[in-house]
A and B are shown apart, each in its own frame.
Chain A
Amino acid sequence: MTPPLLAVEELVRRYRRPRAFPWRRGEAVAALSGVSFAIARGRSLGIVGESGSGKSTLARLVMGFERPDAGRVLFMGEDLAEAPPARLRQLRRGLQMVFQDPVGSLDPRHRVGRIVGEPLDMLDGAARGDRSARVAAALRSVGLGASDAQRYPHEFSGGQRQRIAIARALITRPALIVADEPVSALDVSVQAQVLAVMKALAAEHEVTYLLISHDLAVIAYVTVDVAVMYRGAIVETGPTAAVLERPLHPYSQALKEAAPRLVAGRRRHRTRPAAPPGEPAAAGRGCAYAERCPLAQPRCREEAPALREVAPGRRAACHFP
């Protein structure tokens, strides 16, 4: 059996808060507490969550920018953390990333051609091929021209820069692209340019995405499966269309309900609860969402629910889905 494209097993990552006094250790905060999932080739996975959910930490661990405190990241069945350097370079070809900030992710001192071609630098000659031809091809496949290689990043608009970043990710013909909020820094009118390019590449170049976003609509457009994260753990997974249509976990439901919709005056003239749900409080032993959950029962505060199959193909971490 071929291993999945990407498998993440029981990933844990803790950060230490800066210490208050030199003689004291900083308090450890878990950004990820035991996250597992697998992505099969062609089944792009969306990760939805709000700030503090650990979704960006997950991206950094998958890319190998940081080491997990526990658990493993397996790319095509191999642990990046244990691969020897030569093998690691080979594996890296298949794994690229697109960042949120289209300004900060392109070196302002380099021309676009050099930026896009950079991932080729570390490949051996045969894999490298004709550099300028490949740069031109990559730029064309994101809707830019070969002559744009001579220009500098600041000459481009935000949407164009993000497409340059995609071209850079694309040039090694990767199997998996990790995209961390790729359109949230862009104007609404150009977000579609970038998402359309991403979707087209999935079909033409057999690219699979690990797409991180807070925007359900973006996730729905690009991905096949989705995982909803809350405070360092996955609370619900399943096929994107089904989860967004009928979320099972109360947090997923809250996310869907909160997303702005084009309904005139939806917030006007309606009865509201006396007090809105509280902000997240410190994690106890029970369900992390119990503090904010409108459906919480005594059991939720006592016992943390496990992620389990609650319907065919659907898993949720809730006692009462």
Chain B
Amino acid sequence: MALLEVEALGVVIDSPRGPLEILRDVGFALESGRILGIVGESGSGKTMTALALMGLLPPGARAQGSVRLGGRELLRLDEHALCRLRGDRVAMIFQEPMSALNPLQPVGAQIAEPLRLHRKMPAAKAAAEARRLLARVHLPDPDRLAAAFPHQLSGGQRQRVMIAMALACGPDLLVADEPTTALDVTVQAQILDLLVELVEETGMSLILVSHDLAAVAETADEVLVLYGGTVVEHAPVAAMLRHRAHPYTQGLFAARPATGLFRAIPGSVPDLAALPPGCRFADRCPLAIAACGDGPPPLGLVGPGHRAACIRLEAAAATAEAS
């Protein structure tokens, strides 16, 4: 049994025009010690997926489907049980560590907090553990840093503090939502290296949410590509780099200036308030036919562990071949 099993996960929010299905039928399984990358642009639902896993959806949003962690159904847990789980078995880090940290408390105390809360550790022991965790995320001079306030640290250091905090209780699953987007390129590389190192040493699982295909490719084992709140492709990273099955994934690859192709996908990311009933990429897709608008395309198997949601997979394979 996989550590995390997500089935038919959906998120619905109410709007004055009726319910909006901003996330539809997301499913995947994640083994211990594995890294899953979730890639998407704005409005793809990647952050909603992360929040739904953590039971942290904003007010007005409802999750449907099933999320099982170690066999336990998370979506049916009450808030009290979820609180005990969060920061303990599952932990999360965010894009902007500055707003996730309390500006008026030394970072050492903030790292010690989950230990005192979940492990009922005495203060002195928790403080010592906090310093050990700071050293664990390669922060120099942990004794001095434990007494520092968030604004005295650089962006990279703050993200390391967030990671130390997330690690405090030795979680089974770490969800990282755009953890390096606010950071400089060289610092981003260090943080990604740190996350990989921690996964390899502790055996926890990592979900890395990012808009950056390349950052995910070089870090994750498998990748889930989201578009307009739906899974368009799900594959082991190496398989996807060999063969992009879905027209959107192909477009995303070609849109990177680093590639020789460098073509934009026409149009713009979908408006969540006006999603089409059929394939949500159809209006921007070069291969779209009338049938694409009929209903949600099913996820079809392309290769071992490689699935794509498109009814034009043969045509897509042919264009991939040609370019």
Contacts and interface: CB of A to CB of B under 8 A. Distances in A.
Direct contact of A and B (CB under 8 A): yes
Interface of A: 50-51, 157-160, 187-193, 195-196, 214-215, 217-218, 220-221, 254-255, 257-269, 272, 275-280
A214 B257 contact: no
A163 to B, nearest CB: 11
Main secondary structure of the interface of A (DSSP, over half): loop
A291 to B, nearest CB: 11
A255 B189 CA distance: 10
A278 B268 contact: no
Given A196-B264, A263-B218, A258 B188 contact: yes
Contact of A217 (B220, B241, B258): B258
A276 B138 contact: yes
Given A187-B211, A189-B269, A264-B237, A221 B257 contact: yes
A275 B187 CA distance: 13
A190 B268 contact: yes
A190 B41 CA distance: 10
B216 to A, nearest CB: 8
Contact of B257 (A220, A267, A276): A220
A50 to B, nearest CB: 4
A291 B185 CA distance: 17
Nearest to B242: A264
Given A254-B186, A255-B185, A267 B213 contact: no
Contact of A157 (B211, B255, B269): B269
21 contacts: A50-B187, A157-B268, A157-B269, A159-B264, A159-B268, A187-B269, A190-B255, A192-B264, A193-B264, A196-B262, A196-B264, A217-B256, A262-B213, A264-B218, A264-B241, A265-B219, A267-B192, A267-B219, A268-B221, A275-B138, A278-B140
Contacts of B194: 276
A214 B213 contact: no
Nearest to A269: B200
B289 to A, nearest CB: 21
Interface string B235-253: 0011001000000000111
Given A261-B217, A262-B218, 10 more contacts: A50-B184, A189-B264, A189-B265, A190-B255, A191-B257, A220-B257, A258-B185, A260-B218, A262-B253, A267-B219
A195 B241 contact: no
A276 B263 CA distance: 36
B256 to A, nearest CB: 7
A192 B186 contact: no
A261 B214 contact: yes
Given A262-B217, A272-B193, A192 B255 contact: yes
